[in-house]
Amino acid sequence: MPDELISLTEASTRLGVHYMTAYRYVRTGQLSAIKVGGEWRVAAADVDSFRKGPAPSATNGRPKADFHKRLEARLVIGDEGGAWTVIESALNAGVEPAQIYLDVLAPALAQIGAEWAAGRATIAEEHRATAVALRLIGRLGPHFNRAGKKRGTVIIGAPSGDQHSVPGAMAADLLRGQGFDVLDLGANTPAESFVDAARHADRLIAVGISATTGPNAEAISEIISLVHSELNCPVVLGGHALVEMEDPESLGADFVTSSSTAMMQAFDSLAEARIRTSS
């Protein structure tokens, strides 16, 4: 028998809170809800479970926030306002912008991708989530700006055939937070565009390739070969697509990274090496 759905007004009464408080629980992903005829409806069982809750934390008696799960729920239904409220809640709770990407947004998107791969989420839901995620990244971007002299310029993009721009956009912001100027070329970038952008960059440090979908080894190899031959510039390769490759190191990148942390460390080491050779 399907769960009984109740109005948000009735949910607020059962919870003993103001209607707007219950609405905030929904918009921040703490309380699951769906829209029926333009109005929020909540499963009575979810209200009862929320009211009992796990053992309270030290934050106003409410359980510790599980931000990535709350964000996932907002992304799936395309609720940009609610998704941003989750992000703001995390920031207000002291979560650093870089950790928002690494521990909140990335896990939420990964779970949605896994649900789509398993047939439990539609392609429309996956696309909707991606569109909202890009808008969230646009709003979070200024949080990564760092004052002072920049360490140099990084060019980053996805190879031809790779339509995913979110991982590169997140990597670009993380690198800006490390003091780099970053030119993000986005998805589906031809090898010649990497070279053209790098050739005009001020104090070029390296080119980064964000490879999300595969098999795409030929396009990746073309970028690396062209950047090396035309510019003699280091290349950092990373992304989920490398998991599906037998030997990504054979593509010729100077650094092959398996995580965002490893990617940032690679660019750090290249920047330090540039300082040493120029001094």
201 C-beta neighbours (distance < 10 Å), count = 18
pLDDT of residue 279: 63
Predicted confidence (pLDDT) at residue 25 exceeds the cutoff of 50 = yes
Q: What is the pTM of this model?
A: 0.78
Per the model's pLDDT, the better-predicted residue between 65 and 59 turns out to be 65
CB-CB contact of 130 with 149 (8 Å): no
Report the mean per-residue pLDDT for the chain: 89
Looking at the fold, whether 266 and 156 belong to one and the same domain comes out as yes
Same structural domain, 46 and 87: no
Question: Domain containing 267 — which CATH number?
Answer: 3.40.50.280
140-151 per-position pLDDT tens digit: 999 999 888 999
The rounded distance, in Å, linking the Cα atoms of 41 and 44 is 9
Phi, psi of 229 (to 5 degrees): -75, -40
Q: What is the mean pLDDT of residues 230-237?
A: 96
Choose the final residue of a domain: 144, 177, 195.
144
Q: 184 and 232: one domain?
A: yes
Report the CATH number that the domain containing residue 115 is assigned in CATH. Answer: 1.10.1240.10
Q: How confident is the model at residue 58 (pLDDT cuts 50, 70, 90)?
A: very low
More confident residue, 58 or 173: 173
Contact 167, 210 (CB under 8 A): yes
Contact 63, 53 (CB under 8 A): yes
Predicted confidence (pLDDT) per residue in 162-218, tens digit? 999 999 999 999 999 999 999 999 999 999 999 999 999 999 999 999 999 877 999
Whether residue 85 is found in the same domain as residue 134: yes
**Which structural domain range is residue 83 located in?**
65-144
Element housing 105 (H / E): none
What's the structural domain count of the chain? Answer: 3
Percentage with pLDDT > 70 across the chain: 94
